[in-house]
C-alpha cells in the first residue's frame, strides 16, 4: 500500500462553465497537480470560474498519456493529490484517463471522481429514445470496412446506442448505420449540447444521413434506437426468393444478397446465412 496519494477524475462542463460543481472549484484550487487534456482550455475555464490554480499544471492528452501516466503515478506515490480533467465530460470516457486510473488502482492508491455533465447521458435524455437500457459505443471505426463490420455486429443490439462522431465523418457514419440498421431506424443527432447553437435533429437514419451531407459542424453525440424484435421485420422467405430470382438472372449470389439486404434494411450476413441454408448452391 502507498501513502495518502489521491487521484481525482474531474468531470468538466460540456458547454456551459456554469454547470460545474462547487467541489470542482475546490479541488482545482487545492490539488497538488492538475493534469489537463488542454492546458490552455483549463486556464480559460479557471478564469471563467474565478479559480486560482495553485498546484502544478501539466498536459495529459492522447499522444503523451502513456508516458505521463507513469510520471503522475510517482507523484501519487509521494502522497500528493492529482486531478485529471479533460476538455469536456468525464476523463476515461473516450478521453485520456484510463491508463492512470488503472495504474493507480493496481498500486492501491485511492481513486475518486467529481461527477459532472456528460454528453452521453445528456444526449440520451433529450433524444426521445428509450433510456431504460443503453450502451455507449464511443467513436465508430474510421475505416469504412472496419466500421461496417462493427455496425453489422450491433444490428441486433436491443439497447439504445450512443456514439460520438466527428462532424467530418457524420454523414458517412449515418449512411453506414442506415445500411446496417435500416434507413428507418430512429436516431437523434445532438450537436453542440448545452452551447449557444445547440441543435437536436431527430428522424430515421436515412433522413439524417441526407441532412448531415450539408456540412454539419460542432461537437456531435449520436443516439440510435435499439433493434426491436418483430417490429417491422421483413418477410424472410420473400427476401430469399428475391435473391434466388436475381441469381437466376445472372447476378452473383453475394452481390444479390448485398443488394436485397440493403433494400430490406437487414444485415448482409444474416440474409446470406439464410440464403445459404435455404437455397441450392448455384
Over its length of 282 residues, how does the chain's per-residue pLDDT go in tens digits? 445 899 999 999 998 888 888 899 999 999 999 999 999 999 999 999 999 999 999 999 999 999 999 999 999 999 999 999 999 999 988 889 999 999 999 999 999 999 988 999 999 999 999 999 999 999 999 999 999 999 999 988 999 999 999 999 999 999 999 999 999 999 999 999 999 999 999 999 999 999 999 889 999 999 999 998 765 566 777 888 888 888 888 888 889 888 888 777 778 888 888 887 776 554
Cβ–Cβ < 8 Å for 193, 119: yes
Cell numbers for 186: 430512429
120-224: CATH topology is: 3.30.950
Instruction: Please state whether beta strands 220-224 and 186-191 pair in parallel, antiparallel, or not at all (unpaired).
Output: antiparallel
Cell of 149: 463490420
Rounded to the nearest 5 degrees, what angle is found at the Cα of 47, between the Cα atoms of 97 and 116? 40
Beta sheet of 186-191, edge-to-edge order:
134-138, 160-165, 220-224, 186-191, 199-204
Q: What is the DSSP letter of 231?
A: S
CA atoms within 13 A on the CB side of 94: 17
Q: Where in the chain is the domain with CATH 3.40.1010.10?
A: 6-117
User: How far apart, in whole angstroms, are the C-alpha atoms of residue 34 and residue 29?
Assistant: 9
6-117 is a CATH 3.40.710.10 domain:
no
pTM exceeds 0.85:
no
Where does CATH 3.30.950.10 sit in the chain?
A: 120-224
Amino acid at each position: 500500500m502507498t501513502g495518502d496519494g489521491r487521484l481525482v477524475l474531474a468531470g468538466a462542463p460540456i458547454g456551459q462553465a456554469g454547470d460545474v460543481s462547487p467541489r470542482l472549484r475546490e479541488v482545482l484550487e487545492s490539488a497538488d497537480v492538475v493534469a489537463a487534456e488542454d492546458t490552455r482550455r483549463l486556464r480559460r475555464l479557471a478564469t471563467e470560474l474565478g479559480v486560482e490554480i495553485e498546484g502544478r499544471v501539466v498536459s495529459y492528452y492522447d499522444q503523451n498519456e502513456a508516458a505521463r501516466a507513469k510520471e503522475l503515478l510517482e507523484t501519487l506515490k509521494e502522497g500528493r493529490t492529482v486531478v485529471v480533467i479533460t476538455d469536456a465530460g468525464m476523463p476515461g470516457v473516450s478521453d485520456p484517463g484510463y491508463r492512470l486510473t488503472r495504474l493507480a488502482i493496481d498500486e492501491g492508491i485511492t481513486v475518486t471522481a467529481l461527477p459532472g455533465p456528460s454528453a452521453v447521458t445528456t444526449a440520451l435524455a433529450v433524444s426521445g429514445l428509450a433510456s431504460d437500457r443503453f450502451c455507449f459505443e464511443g467513436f465508430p471505426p474510421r475505416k469504412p470496412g472496419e466500421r461496417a463490420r462493427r455496425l453489422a455486429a450491433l444490428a441486433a443490439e436491443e439497447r439504445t446506442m450512443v456514439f460520438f462522431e466527428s462532424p467530418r465523418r457524420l454523414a458517412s457514419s449515418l449512411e453506414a448505420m442506415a445500411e446496417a440498421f435500416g434507413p428507418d431506424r430512429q436516431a437523434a443527432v445532438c450537436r453542440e449540447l448545452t452551447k449557444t447553437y445547440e441543435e437536436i435533429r431527430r428522424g430515421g437514419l436515412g433522413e439524417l444521413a441526407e441532412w448531415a451531407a450539408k456540412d454539419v459542424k460542432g461537437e456531435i453525440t449520436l443516439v440510435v434506437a435499439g433493434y426491436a424484435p418483430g417490429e417491422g421485420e421483413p418477410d424472410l422467405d420473400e427476401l430469399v426468393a428475391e435473391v434466388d430470382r436475381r441469381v437466376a438472372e445472372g447476378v452473383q449470389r453475394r452481390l444479390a444478397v448485398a443488394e436485397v439486404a440493403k433494400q430490406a434494411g437487414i444485415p448482409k450476413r444474416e440474409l446470406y446465412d439464410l440464403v445459404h441454408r435455404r437455397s441450392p448452391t448455384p
